[in-house]
Amino acid sequence: MSKDARRKVHPTSARIVHRRARITTTGTAGNASGSEFISLPAGIVRALAIDWHASAPGTSDLTIKADSSTGTTVFSTVNTVTDLSARPVVMAGIDEGGAATASTDTGAGGFPYRYGLNIAVAQADALTDAVIVDVWVELVRFEQITLIADSGADGAAVSARTLDLAGAGFVQALAVTYANQPVTIDLTIKADDSTGATIFSTSNSNTNITATSVAMPSMDEGGAAGAATDVGAGGFPVKRGVYAAFAQGDAYTGGNETVLVELWIAQ
């Protein structure tokens, strides 16, 4: 096999990173605690494994959160010291219509984070390496699009921007934060440009969307559309970029009327 052929069979674009956290706890028996922050470039948690100390009490709690101790929960257990072998991390996703996917569709999306993971133990005994947590993450491209309407009446302002990725990719997850926007606002995120396939859309809603995996309808090997319950696996493909726009919003008159779209993109 030629070198070129080997490159095609074994692409190097995916960036999978493994990290290990050893949590040492201090304090009184049954009330000891400890934590560690794993600093990482933006990515998606793909799998984890948990190995408890043999002397850890059954009252021990473990929490893994995205980005900080107050972030979104990636994984948690209460009053258990059951070891877990390496296994995928799952979360409920959202489809292109902004609807939550069913709990049965959470198997492949992973869990997005921005800059790291906070791992904490509570209600344990004082132990060195009370728990060892192994984490596998996929490092991805993290982008932010800030939508601002320079003019327009409140409730009727519009804004649009296109993010140029300079190549193809998969939108794996997204988050949306509204700042001082009315409940009438509509948001649309499309693949490539304003005429592309819809990745995500909401109407008459200014409810923030926390970092969430993106899902789309699937098809099987015969070209038949997958069931509505089979939308959770692949993210959303784009050829060259991402288009985001809002309508029926407020203009940037008070200095803080914005919509922030955050994207986790595999390239």
Whether 154 and 229 map to the same domain: the answer is: yes
Is 2 contained in some domain? no
**Do residues 246 and 165 make contact, with C-beta atoms less than 8 angstroms apart?**
no
Is 222 contained in some domain? yes
What is the mean predicted confidence (pLDDT) over 67-76? Answer: 92
> Which pLDDT belongs to residue 9?
40
Task: Quickly tell me which residue has 């559309």 as its tokens.
Answer: 225
More confident residue, 61 or 7: 61
96: confidence class by pLDDT, cuts 50, 70, 90: very low
pLDDT at 105 over 80: no
More confident residue, 218 or 24: 24
Domain span including residue 64: 13-92+99-139
Nearest Cα neighbor of 183 from 165, 156, 204 is 204
* Per-residue pLDDT tens over the stretch 226-255: 555 554 556 889 999 999 999 999 999 887
Exposed (0-12), middle (13-18) or buried (19+): which is 34, by Cβ within 10 Å?
buried
* Per-residue pLDDT tens over the stretch 149-207: 999 999 999 999 999 999 999 999 999 999 999 999 999 999 999 999 999 999 999 99
pLDDT at 104 over 60: no
Whether 175 and 221 map to the same domain: the answer is: yes
Q: What percent of the chain has pLDDT over 70?
A: 81
Is 29 contained in some domain? yes
* Largest distance between two CA atoms of the chain: 64
Helices (H), the chain: 3-9
> Which pLDDT belongs to residue 4?
39
CATH number, domain containing residue 145: 2.60.120
**Do residues 218 and 230 make contact, with C-beta atoms less than 8 angstroms apart?**
yes
pLDDT at 8 over 70: no
Is 243 contained in some domain? yes
CA–CA separation, 9 and 138 (whole Å): 19
CA 92 to chain centroid, in Å, comes to 10
* Per-residue pLDDT tens over the stretch 110-128: 889 999 999 999 999 999 9
Whether 72 and 186 map to the same domain: the answer is: no
Whether 174 and 114 map to the same domain: the answer is: no
Q: Which of 108, 139, 170 is the last residue of a domain?
A: 139
* Per-residue pLDDT tens over the stretch 27-70: 999 999 999 999 999 999 999 999 999 999 999 999 999 999 99
